[in-house]
Structure 1
Amino acid sequence: MGDADQQEYGMSKNLYLRNGIFWARFKVGGVEYRESLRTRSEKVAERRLKIRREEVEDKALFKIAGPTSWQSAVVSWNENVSFGSERTFNRYVSSLIQLRAWLDDKNVHEITPEMVRDIIKARRRGGVKNATIRRDMTALSSVLNHCADEGWIGENPIESINLRRVAAEKFVPIVLPTEASIAIMSRRITSRMWDMFEFTRETGLRLEETTTLRHTSIDRAGRTITIKGKGSKVRTLPLTAKAVTIIDRQPRYIGKPLVFWRGEGEPIKDVSTRTTRYMVTAARWAAQRNMEFEPFSHHGMRHLFAVEYLRDRRGSIYDLQGEMGHGSISTTERYLAFLTPEQAKAAKSSVAQKPAREQRFASDDA
């Protein structure tokens, strides 16, 4: 590009356009540098040019440290940035650990909007939830803001990304398993896996919480189990008489801790995949007999637990939130849609209906 072109765009002689992207061109110590500034904005390009040229001059002429590494930036951020709470700091650190694979070998000026978008895409492909990705980006942005304050980068690259497009997670519609489908499925699946399904219907446990349940987590005298659930949150749940019966009929594997196991006391894996196969078999069996069958997952039994909990008036919506391990009451409130207005009103009460609760938890001998 000639001087006429530069004059037309009103650009510095050290900037030029290539395919609509601004590039830098300058000499330091007799060496010419040409590199992309990764922006279409002239104002942004000017700032990046200044920073980049100063970096090169510092390194070449004054023999001082060059670009700041990501790892050094995180150390400085940790030492100099004030956080609202220890909880916030721990959440940020957790996110930064997840991002190490992309950033540990980078200098901070190499972290571009394009790189950030690639990280977001990779996290999505890995099955990471949108809410978690947004938390990751918030932590990354905090470090990059510190870098901008220190003058290591011209601007925070995340500011050019619309994180609102990392849409809020949408709840998957709740579909309750029907009793007819449950009856069919119970005859087409292994007894131990079906015990896991029924146990979740009695306790509301997540699949991972069920497959990792240990005998040491069971308090038989108090008839409770203690669970370390999502986010390492610990909660203690009551056991119904039926739940105790299910536990009692599981054979113990000597020297192994799990309640539900396979092989030589090993965890039961690939439950979702195996469940799908059983569902296909059950659906084929029902179709041959002109019977109605609606496939469901293990998680469907957790939904069923929640609705039956409220219908049976075992406790309020707030009690249920605690038993399910929900972080937000709005997640638990979805189950109100399956209740009558009277039942929903009772569920919103903070007082459990003790007669129904006592009947539900009565021993088998009562």
Structure 2
Amino acid sequence: MELEDVLEEYRYHCLAKGFTEKTMRNKRQELTQMKTYLMEKRAIRDIESVTVHDMRAYIRQKQIAGLQPQSIVAMIKLISAFFNWCVSEEYLIENPMNKVEKPKVPKKVLKGFTPEDVNKMINSFTYKNYIEARNKALIAMLADCGLRAMEIRGLLSKNVKETTILINGKGNKERTVFISPVLKKILIRYERIKNQFIKEKNINSDRYFLTYLGTELSHVALYNVIKEAGYRADIEGKRISPHTFRHFYAVQTLSEGQMDVYSLSRILGHSDIATTQRYLTSMTDTQLLEKAISSSPLMNYGRGNALM
């Protein structure tokens, strides 16, 4: 079977599975590079001719080009998914990536936001106009609900209820997150200003957060809002991004003992609990100490009983 034909079939398979535009773009880019390498450097035209030696050589040339270990691991995962599909469709007997070694990824502890950082960022915006109110509500929702960038950008007005928000998450999987009273107070004022803004501009959109023109926020626009919040709050030495707010939500929820890791995994929309558990590695010693004390059997027993 020709390599090009199999790749084209796989592309339509992924489209039928409902992968996001970003995921499809990443798959298309990486698999196109792999195809070019196999055809031009290894003279391979048929999928059956691909061996573990070819794939090791491909990974090696990526490393020589300076690709970081974390990116190499992500690339291997993406390519492996393609070859696993080839095995399931009986185009191959075995996945040639099975014996390709993954590079070790250095563990980096993300220096996250503190509650004071987040409070300053939320309060750096006012209610004086629609954009200010929108930015305040957007930052507050990121911090209080742990949403992904794509989830908050695509959030529909009809899905923001009285106490819950219905999220259309990664892989088109729906889940529910909850609105705290503090966030609700901000959203009520935002919605009041938004309704007036929509009326004056004669806007008809189903998105909860809008641009000045009444359209959905772009990826760049969302990042600009967050960067502005970090700038106004004078946050330094930390990554100012949507994921850092998601990280903040996870770490605060775990460190305060408000939720177990299994429940948090569902709230965050993780398909694998191991992804959620990685947030535990970024908790500070102080947070871990406080968590240990609050969950201590003897401390909890001692609250209702005198211990000698």
1:224/1:237 contact within 8 Å kept: yes
The answer for the alignment partner of 1:25 in structure 2 is none
The answer for the alignment partner of 1:287 in structure 2 is none
CA deviation digits over 1:150-203, x for unaligned, max 9?
xxxxx98757x84322x4484552422351674277337844223211122222
Does residue 1:272 correspond to 2:203, yes or no? Answer: no
Which of 323, 326, 330 pairs up with 2:277?
330
1:317/1:333 contact within 8 Å kept: no
User: Residues of 1 paired with 2:161 and 2:121: CA distance?
Assistant: 33
The answer for the alignment partner of 2:123 in structure 1 is 186
Does residue 1:317 correspond to 2:255, yes or no? Answer: no
The answer for the alignment partner of 1:70 in structure 2 is 3
Does residue 1:236 correspond to 2:236, yes or no? Answer: no
Which of 333, 339, 346 pairs up with 2:287?
339
1:317/1:348 contact within 8 Å kept: no
The answer for the alignment partner of 1:224 in structure 2 is 164
Does residue 1:176 correspond to 2:98, yes or no? Answer: no
Structure 1 gap segments, 5+ residues each: 1-67, 78-89, 150-154, 284-291, 350-366
The structure, 1 or 2, with the larger RCO (C-alpha pairs under 8 Å, 6+ apart) is 2
Q: 1:226 to 1:119 in 2, by over 3 A?
A: farther
- Who wins on radius of gyration, i.e. which is larger? 1
Does residue 1:259 correspond to 2:208, yes or no? Answer: yes
Q: 1:138 to 1:323 in 2, by over 3 A?
A: same
After superposition, where does 1:125-144 map in structure 2 within 5 Å?
129-142=71-84, 143=86
User: Residues of 1 paired with 2:60 and 2:136: CA distance?
Assistant: 42
* Shift in Å, 1:260: 1.4
Could you say what secondary structure the match of 1:339 adopts?
A: helix
* Shift in Å, 1:276: 3.1
Does residue 1:300 correspond to 2:244, yes or no? Answer: yes
More strand by share: 1
- Aligned amino acid, residue 275 of structure 1: I
The answer for the alignment partner of 1:163 in structure 2 is 101
Q: 1:209 to 1:69 in 2, by over 3 A?
A: same
After superposition, where does 1:8-19 map in structure 2 within 5 Å?
none
* Shift in Å, 1:317: 2.8
* Shift in Å, 1:323: 1.5
- Aligned amino acid, residue 281 of structure 2: R
TM-score (norm 2): 0.60
The answer for the alignment partner of 1:355 in structure 2 is none
Q: 1:322 to 1:332 in 2, by over 3 A?
A: farther
1:180/1:293 contact within 8 Å kept: no
Q: 1:336 to 1:345 in 2, by over 3 A?
A: farther
1:198/1:301 contact within 8 Å kept: no
1:204/1:324 contact within 8 Å kept: yes
Q: 1:314 to 1:163 in 2, by over 3 A?
A: same
The answer for the alignment partner of 1:213 in structure 2 is 155
- Aligned pairs, how many? 251
User: Residues of 2 paired with 1:156 and 1:241: CA distance?
Assistant: 51
More helix by share: 2
Q: 1:196 to 1:296 in 2, by over 3 A?
A: farther
- Aligned amino acid, residue 334 of structure 1: T
Q: 1:233 to 1:170 in 2, by over 3 A?
A: farther
1:316/1:347 contact within 8 Å kept: no
Q: 1:205 to 1:148 in 2, by over 3 A?
A: closer
Q: 1:300 to 1:348 in 2, by over 3 A?
A: farther
User: Residues of 2 paired with 1:310 and 1:117: CA distance?
Assistant: 37
CA deviation digits over 1:6-51, x for unaligned, max 9?
xxxxxxxxxxxxxxxxxxxxxxxxxxxxxxxxxxxxxxxxxxxxxx
The answer for the alignment partner of 2:143 in structure 1 is 201
Q: CA RMSD in A?
A: 4.8
Identity of aligned residues (%): 16
User: Residues of 2 paired with 1:168 and 1:113: CA distance?
Assistant: 19
- Aligned amino acid, residue 108 of structure 1: I
2:169/2:175 contact within 8 Å kept: yes
The answer for the alignment partner of 1:15 in structure 2 is none
User: Residues of 2 paired with 1:178 and 1:340: CA distance?
Assistant: 16
Could you say what secondary structure the match of 1:262 adopts?
A: coil
Q: 1:334 to 1:346 in 2, by over 3 A?
A: farther
Could you say what secondary structure the match of 1:265 adopts?
A: coil
Which of 83, 91, 101 pairs up with 2:32?
101
